[in-house]
Structure 1
């Protein structure tokens, strides 16, 4: 960290912070919103051998929610990484900001470059988010059961 501050200045520590914050809001909103819709409006998973609202069902809804959220917000991640990595190890600074980075990627590499690495991200995040929502729901169930026991 000190090397970065000495060689590139303190502002280099915050390179890519704007797209990180701006990307986290829609990603989390889409993820939690999709999870909630799936949880409330899907038919039970009993036809597939999964008990409705059981841990596996909840994990599946969470995994699908993550897939959708990543697919819709991944271009922002690509731009964020590019902004964070420019100027590192003597690489030239190529972009003047988020919009400039977006324009250059689309112009010189094609729009599909905005999705480069999405598959690996999905492989990593699908089980992670599925587990996240299964644990989240288990904790909620525990709290509700504890409150009911305490109030009884």
Structure 2
């Protein structure tokens, strides 16, 4: 139970801290071959503020927190479960293969548990932005009818985009990306702790744990980032304001590379670094602090 609670709190705190960067990354990722409405980190943040105010920075964050609490809780709890399951008798730490396996399993569990909320969060992040046809039609922040919230958005996807299948559009590339990402995240964090927080150093050092988490998240995201772009593209492909349509994961890869070039698989990567480093750092620190606090108070 403590892993569920600590993981949930860690997820909620970390994602709220980096909400503007998270939304900006998504906007970069889902822009197709048409002239980009959002270019550059500072101009995009300025545009979001000018057109939508403070809420432009937080658009979709409520849904993201609703999603990330069970997502993060299930991920940390599943990791601890698989870690205990795979631990060899007489040992206190997993070897690299077992740790990667535990992390990958945790990634699959967390995605499968919360995916409809993930696609809903993406839609709410995008639906008020002026992208593609919404720019020409006068839509976007000022002109389009906004989806009112989490439940109505999920109902709309269910009714208009194929029922349950619509709510799970993009699940394959998401799982394909999240499983190795989470595996690398935990592996890198545990290894970095050995070198950056050795026994002779204060084990409660927040700054060192933040650094370990930030580096771990950055390394893992660099390797798996193209799959995150595919995930977002597949999640918004049913929206009226989005001009591109894909029949599946491989069709999306082929179409993106042909029409937008190989770098399209890395759209929003710089904004993502600004998001993922503090988010993962805060997430690991919050998780360990909550877990230690609950253990101490038992």
Task: Report TM bin, short chain.
Answer: 0.7 to 0.9
Alignment of 1:39-54 (within 5 A): 39-42=193-196, 54=205
Q: Aligned match of 1:7 in 157, 160, 163?
A: 160
- Please say if 1:120 is aligned against 2:271: yes
Partner of 2:259: 108
How many residues were matched structurally? 143
Change (3 A) 1:7 1:68: same
For the aligned residue pairs, the C-alpha RMSD in angstroms reads 2.4
Residue deviations 1:15-42 (CA, integer Å, cap 9, x gap): 1111122221111111111000100134
Alignment of 1:1-150 (within 5 A): 1-10=154-163, 11-42=165-196, 54-89=205-240, 91=242, 94-142=245-293, 145=296
TM-score normalised by L of structure 1: 0.80
CA contact (8 A) 2:196 2:212 kept: no
CA contact (8 A) 1:20 1:80 kept: yes
* Aligned-pair CA distance for 1:93: 5.7
Partner of 1:150: none
Any gaps of 5 or more consecutive residues in structure 2?
Answer: 1-153
Q: Distance in 2 between matches of 1:140 and 1:32?
A: 16
TM-score normalised by L of structure 2: 0.43
Any gaps of 5 or more consecutive residues in structure 1?
Answer: 148-152
Change (3 A) 1:51 1:112: farther
* Aligned-pair CA distance for 1:142: 3.5
Residue deviations 1:103-151 (CA, integer Å, cap 9, x gap): 221222121111111111221222121111112222344455457xxxx
Most deviating of 82-91 and 50-59: 50-59
Q: Which structure's CA Rg is the greater one?
A: 1
Residue deviations 1:65-103 (CA, integer Å, cap 9, x gap): 011111111100111111111121164562221112112
Change (3 A) 1:83 1:146: same
CA contact (8 A) 1:16 1:84 kept: yes
* Aligned-pair CA distance for 1:6: 2.7
